[in-house]
Amino acid sequence: MKIFYYTLRELNAWLEFFIRYTPGRIGNLLRNFYYKNRSKNSFSNNRFETGFRVEFPKNVRISSNSYFGLNCKIYACETSIVEIGRNVSFNSNVMINARGIGKILIGKHVLIGPNVVVRSNNHNYEKPDIPIINQGMTNGEIIIEDNVWISSNCVILPNCTIGEGSIVAAGAVVTKDVEPYSIVGGIPAKKIGSRKL
């Protein structure tokens, strides 16, 4: 029985590898078909570049008319959820990570630049006598509202809401809520401008 289980897992890993890295239009069609059926979504007109991966797809909801660049990763688990609105654009190497007990909600018309990390959980580290790897994770949620631009190389940390129409400047680390229509930058991110008239 164990041999059958491990063989099935191995075959599934090879299938996912093939689907993930098949190039061109055929690869995009395979990824659309595979993730639409695995996640029970009814999206259409999405483009998934090579390297796109979804972990625990039944807890990931993807809408339509969106672009996911090279090597984008979306991680969920049994106790977490990721929801992505329509008409979003993820550049290359974006990681959306809601593992643990977490939630990430991304609105519509959102732009996310290359190498951005959005992580709803973090490691506990309060006990110096216990290795951090053994201290578990915090719970958290991230909300990215509609019409937001997150520039390249940003990190969005747990329990933040990025307000509608705001911009996060390149390289920023967001540790608290961002007001709607504001521009933030730096480490930690602070308000550096406004988009309001």
Catalytic residue among 9, 58, 123, 190: 123
Q: Which amino acid is at 143?
A: I
Q: How far apart are CA 71 and CA 30, in angstroms?
A: 16
Q: How far apart are CA 103 and CA 79, in angstroms?
A: 9
Count other Cβ atoms within 10 Å, centred on residue 74. 26
Structure tokens at 32: 């659309």
DSSP state, residue 145: -
State the helix-helix crossing angle for 24-39 and 2-21, rounded to 10 degrees. Answer: 130
Residue whose structure tokens are 């053994």: 134
HEC sequence for 32-101: HHHHHHHHCCCCCCCEECCCCEEECHHHEEECCCCEECCCCEEECCCCCEEEECCCCEECCCCEEECCCC
Active site residue 109: no
Active-site positions read 123
